Structure formats: C-alpha cells, structure tokens
Chains A and B, each alone.
Chain A
C-alpha cells in the first residue's frame, strides 16, 4: 500500500513536470514566431483558426505539430539507417530528464505525508543536470554523422566542439554558487536563497554571484545552440547537422532544443533568481509556525501552505517565462558569432573569468 502511494506520488510529480515543460516547449514554437514579429513591427503567425477562433495564432503550434507528423519521412538511402533513426531520440530524451532535479516548490504536507516538490532529490543534482544536458549533443553529432553528408557531419562536429568548450565554462561558473551555498542539491540551493542579506535583500544567486550569472547566461545560450551561437545549425547559410532530416525526426531535434531552453531558464532561475521563491514569502516549514509573507518592515500576511505552494509554482512559471522571453529576445537581436570568435570568447575570455570568479568567491568566503 505504501509503495503504491509512493509510486503514485512520484508518477504525479513526473506527469506535472513533463506537462509543465512540454506546454512551455509547445508554446515556444508559437512564441518563437510571434515575439520576433512584434520586435520587427510585423504581425507574425495569426492564422490557424479553430472554430473561427484565432487567439493571435496560438493554434499554429498544434497545426505545426500535425504538419510535422504527417510530412514525408525521408531517410537518405546512403545514410546509416539505424543511427539516423536513433539520433533524434538521443537528442530529445536526455534533455527531458534534466528537469527532474529542478525543484518547483519546497514541500507540501498532505495527510501527514510530506511531499517534496521535486521529482528527483539527489545530492549530486546539478551534476546530474549537467551530465544529462550534455548527452544531448551525442544525438546531434550522431545525426550529422549518420546522414552521410559532409555538411551535416561538419555541423555535428561544430556542435561538439562548441558544446565541449562551453561546458567547461558552465562547469567552472557553477562552482561559484556551489561554494556559496555549500551544496550540489538544487532544492537546498533554492532554500538558501530565501535568506535575507542585510535584513532586506533576498540572497538570490544573482546578488551573491553576479559575475557567475553574467558568464552563465551566454554559456547557457551557447549550450542550447541558439542564435548568437547557432553554428551547429546555421540554417541561413552554413547549414548544419539537421540538413537531411525532415518531418517529425527534424521536429524531435527542435523539440529537444526548445526543452533545452526551458531547462536553461529553469536552471537560471534556480541558481540565480531564487528558484520558486517569492521574496519575503515563507511556508510553515521555514518559519516553524504559520507560513506567509513576513516583510522586513514588520508587516505579515499569514497564508495557508497550499496557497504558498500555489504562489510559488506561479512565481516559478513566471520567472521561467521571463527568461524564455529574454532568450528569444537575444536570439532575435544578435547576429551569429564567427567560429573563431566563438572559440576565442569561450576559451580565452570566459574560462579565465570563470576561474577569476572562483578565486574571488574563495577570498570573500575566507574573509567572511
């Protein structure tokens, strides 16, 4: 009986997180077209009505999915048949796992049972995320290689070189927050971020680790392989790994990319922007009493824990939406780096700065 309940709870959490991530990813296919349209004084996708209801073209995401599913599934005869089919799965599946370690709330007590609002609570959380996040590039290089096309292969090679370079940056950058919070578990990191600095400033990662944030954001965008760093894909002229892909196999690469965006936004929020926290909002576990808002000027608003959880999930979603918006903004504003620039920025500038950040963090931690 206990096992069944535990399993059901775990499945419920998985279903919630997957629904959360997928709805963001599907909406991104629409936002990816609508936001640049607004930025460029255009209208963007505004058709695809359902029963005459257009809703600013939001149903384009559904229409596009149907289009991709029913498109001709072409596999080049000279391609490696197994690897070609397998690559999109490798690109999509590990990315889906990464969101498991990101907490979307602290905990919820239902009928004496404390439910942790995080699918996977392991004490190597961030390492797990980085490991699975970087597995996605195997799918890309495999796809490029299996296509039996030199341009695809070159695109895959660019993806690998870029991802490896920027993974070093990400790994070194994350050490800063890890030193400050003293844990690798993302749930604990988020809990630490609700403390107040000087009695009023929430101790969010961006406050204590501003340099790490400034390095992590571009490195993260480079990891998602999007426009200032979109050399693996380079669809406008240098063309890349997905050249021979069509239909839903191509769509799976892009679903993986959009989910990577959501995961990057989630990671940015979790590491640097207080995760699910609303400033000055505490639940009963943190206050060991009645939860609610406790403002630094003394005012309090008591709230039941359920409402605290709802508020926090909403705040988490809002923060993720903001960072997705920011990523789309960057993607539709900046032109692409040249490949030598990409490597120079990564190895000669960002890695030394990340090392400097570790040194500075160490000095500050020793001095305090």
Chain B
C-alpha cells in the first residue's frame, strides 16, 4: 500500500494575524483594478489602441472568436459543379446516425448518369448530437458539418427541422482549398438560421 504523506502547512504567527495576508490579497486585486482601469481609459477615452486591452472579454453577439476548422456544427449539403446535389441517396448517413435525425427519401435521377438523388433530405437538429458520424460515413463528401453557424437558437421547434433546400443553400461557403490553414483567424460569417439569409461567400 502506497501512503501519500500529506504535508500540512502550518501558518506562521505573522500569517495568523490575518491582516498582512489580507492586505497582500487586496493588493493583488486592487492592482488588477487600477491597471485595468488605466488600460480601459487609455484605449477607449484617449484612443491609444496599442495599449494592452483591460479585459479578455469577447463581446459575443458583436464579436466572435475564430472557430477551429475541425469544429462541427450545423450540417450543409454540397453541390456538384453543375449545381446538382452531390448526395446519391445511399442512406449511409441515415444508417450511421445514432440519433436517427436524418430522413432521406431517394428518387431516381431522370438522366440516369447517377442512379439516385435525395428527393427529401431533412435533418432534425433538435435530435442531432453533433457527433459527425454522418460526415464520416458519406462516400461522396456530400454532407459536411462546417457551416460555422455558432448560435443555433430560435423561438420555434420547426426552425430546427432543416430541409434539403436549406441545407444545400450554404454549399459554396467553404471549399477544400480553404480548409488548409486559411480558415484560422477568419471571422466566421453569421448565418442566420431564422431569416434564411444567403451566406456570404468568403473571398479567396
């Protein structure tokens, strides 16, 4: 049996008088207070932008922190260059999904180049656990979870039931070329789930 000897630190008489240690603690917090106060004033009142910020806060709705390229969020469906969905309705993602939140209805393509396409491709985000298994399972790289839609919030449940048109709409958001490094530090474009706005395409 291994014994861990716990070393109990006995307070010295000086520390037990309490006041000097309290004064030391107050000195630390007070110095933070005054340093940050001075920094805020220099930055925001005297407009000295080179001064270190007085707070590490990211003011969320206006500012967003850069997201890692590996980050998983709301899904999107990719398009082929001719504008048709890449998805071949093979049902791999639906089978892989542990939450059973993907609903696909396959249909035959009229021209016969590809056997099937998804007539219906719905995702119920309220069931999704964002595990990314659908992305792993897809043989066509048709479904991705890199929409960088950070603030999934709505007043109605139906807003979280995404249909094919919605999922396809963000197809051109990022391409493979932008995956490698370019995304780091790029401010994430805000995709408003509620307003169905078309996302801005990043340049480059």
* Chain A residues close to B by CB (< 8 Å): 35, 37-43, 214, 329-330, 332-334
- Taking CB atoms, residues of chain A closer than 8 Å to B36 are 38-39, 41
The answer to whether A43 and B57 have CB atoms under 8 Å apart is yes
Q: Is B33 at the interface (CB under 8 A from chain A)?
A: yes
Q: Is B12 at the interface (CB under 8 A from chain A)?
A: no
Most chain A C-beta atoms within 10 Å of own C-beta, residue among B22, B32, B54, B55: B55
Report the interface size for chain B: residues with CB under 8 A from the other chain: 17
The answer to whether A41 and B55 have CB atoms under 8 Å apart is yes
In the assembled complex, the Cα of A223 lies from the Cα of B59 at a distance in Å of: 38
The answer to whether A42 and B26 have CB atoms under 8 Å apart is no
**Given A38-B37, A214-B19, are A43 and B59 also a contact pair (CB < 8 Å)?**
yes
- Taking CB atoms, residues of chain B closer than 8 Å to A332 are 29
**Given A41-B36, A41-B54, are A329 and B59 also a contact pair (CB < 8 Å)?**
no
**Given A214-B19, A334-B22, are A37 and B29 also a contact pair (CB < 8 Å)?**
no
**Pick the contact of B26 from A35, A40, A333 — CB < 8 Å?**
A333
The answer to whether B22 and A41 have CB atoms under 8 Å apart is no
The list of the 7 closest CB pairs from A to B, nearest first, reads A43-B57, A333-B29, A43-B55, A39-B29, A38-B36, A39-B33, A38-B33
**Pick the contact of A329 from B19, B29, B55, B57 — CB < 8 Å?**
B29
The answer to whether B19 and A38 have CB atoms under 8 Å apart is no
What are 9 of the A-B contact pairs (CB < 8 Å)? A35-B33, A38-B32, A38-B36, A41-B32, A41-B36, A332-B29, A333-B26, A333-B29, A334-B25
- Taking CB atoms, residues of chain A closer than 8 Å to B32 are 38-41
- Taking CB atoms, residues of chain A closer than 8 Å to B126 are none
CB within 8 Å of A: which of B7-37? 19, 22, 25-26, 28-30, 32-33, 36-37
**Nearest-Cβ distance from residue A169 to partner chain B, whole angstroms:** 14
Select from chain A the residue with minimum beta-carbon distance to B36: A38
The answer to whether A329 and B33 have CB atoms under 8 Å apart is yes
**Nearest-Cβ distance from residue A2 to partner chain B, whole angstroms:** 51
Most chain A C-beta atoms within 10 Å of own C-beta, residue among B26, B28, B29: B29
- Taking CB atoms, residues of chain B closer than 8 Å to A35 are 33
In the assembled complex, the Cα of A37 lies from the Cα of B36 at a distance in Å of: 10
In the assembled complex, the Cα of A332 lies from the Cα of B29 at a distance in Å of: 8
CB within 8 Å of A: which of B151-167? none
Known contacts A42-B55, A333-B28, A333-B29; 16 additional CB pairs below 8 A are A37-B55, A38-B33, A38-B40, A38-B54, A39-B33, A39-B36, A41-B36, A41-B55, A41-B56, A43-B57, A214-B19, A329-B30, A329-B33, A333-B26, A334-B22, A334-B25
**Nearest-Cβ distance from residue A347 to partner chain B, whole angstroms:** 16
- Taking CB atoms, residues of chain B closer than 8 Å to A333 are 22, 25-26, 28-29
In the assembled complex, the Cα of A304 lies from the Cα of B28 at a distance in Å of: 43
In the assembled complex, the Cα of A42 lies from the Cα of B25 at a distance in Å of: 18
- Taking CB atoms, residues of chain A closer than 8 Å to B28 are 333
**Nearest-Cβ distance from residue A109 to partner chain B, whole angstroms:** 41
The answer to whether B33 and A42 have CB atoms under 8 Å apart is no
- Taking CB atoms, residues of chain B closer than 8 Å to A43 are 55, 57, 59
**Nearest-Cβ distance from residue B35 to partner chain A, whole angstroms:** 9
- Taking CB atoms, residues of chain B closer than 8 Å to A214 are 19
In the assembled complex, the Cα of A43 lies from the Cα of B56 at a distance in Å of: 8
In the assembled complex, the Cα of A311 lies from the Cα of B154 at a distance in Å of: 56
Select from chain A the residue with minimum beta-carbon distance to B30: A329
**Nearest-Cβ distance from residue B150 to partner chain A, whole angstroms:** 20
- Taking CB atoms, residues of chain A closer than 8 Å to B33 are 35, 38-39, 329
- Taking CB atoms, residues of chain A closer than 8 Å to B26 are 329-330, 333
Select from chain A the residue with minimum beta-carbon distance to B22: A334
Select from chain A the residue with minimum beta-carbon distance to B25: A333
Select from chain A the residue with minimum beta-carbon distance to B53: A41
- Taking CB atoms, residues of chain B closer than 8 Å to A38 are 32-33, 36-37, 40, 54-55
Most chain A C-beta atoms within 10 Å of own C-beta, residue among B36, B37, B40, B56: B36
**Nearest-Cβ distance from residue A48 to partner chain B, whole angstroms:** 14
In the assembled complex, the Cα of A42 lies from the Cα of B36 at a distance in Å of: 9
- Taking CB atoms, residues of chain A closer than 8 Å to B54 are 38, 41
**Nearest-Cβ distance from residue A322 to partner chain B, whole angstroms:** 12
- Taking CB atoms, residues of chain B closer than 8 Å to A42 are 55-57
In the assembled complex, the Cα of A38 lies from the Cα of B41 at a distance in Å of: 12
Select from chain B the residue with minimum beta-carbon distance to A333: B29
- Taking CB atoms, residues of chain B closer than 8 Å to A37 are 55
In the assembled complex, the Cα of A332 lies from the Cα of B30 at a distance in Å of: 10
CB within 8 Å of A: which of B132-164? none
**Nearest-Cβ distance from residue B125 to partner chain A, whole angstroms:** 29
CB within 8 Å of A: which of B33-60? 33, 36-37, 40, 54-57, 59
In the assembled complex, the Cα of A35 lies from the Cα of B36 at a distance in Å of: 10
CB within 8 Å of A: which of B70-105? none
- Taking CB atoms, residues of chain B closer than 8 Å to A334 are 22, 25
In the assembled complex, the Cα of A88 lies from the Cα of B186 at a distance in Å of: 53
Select from chain A the residue with minimum beta-carbon distance to B32: A39
Select from chain A the residue with minimum beta-carbon distance to B16: A349
In the assembled complex, the Cα of A231 lies from the Cα of B132 at a distance in Å of: 47
**Nearest-Cβ distance from residue A328 to partner chain B, whole angstroms:** 10
In the assembled complex, the Cα of A229 lies from the Cα of B26 at a distance in Å of: 16
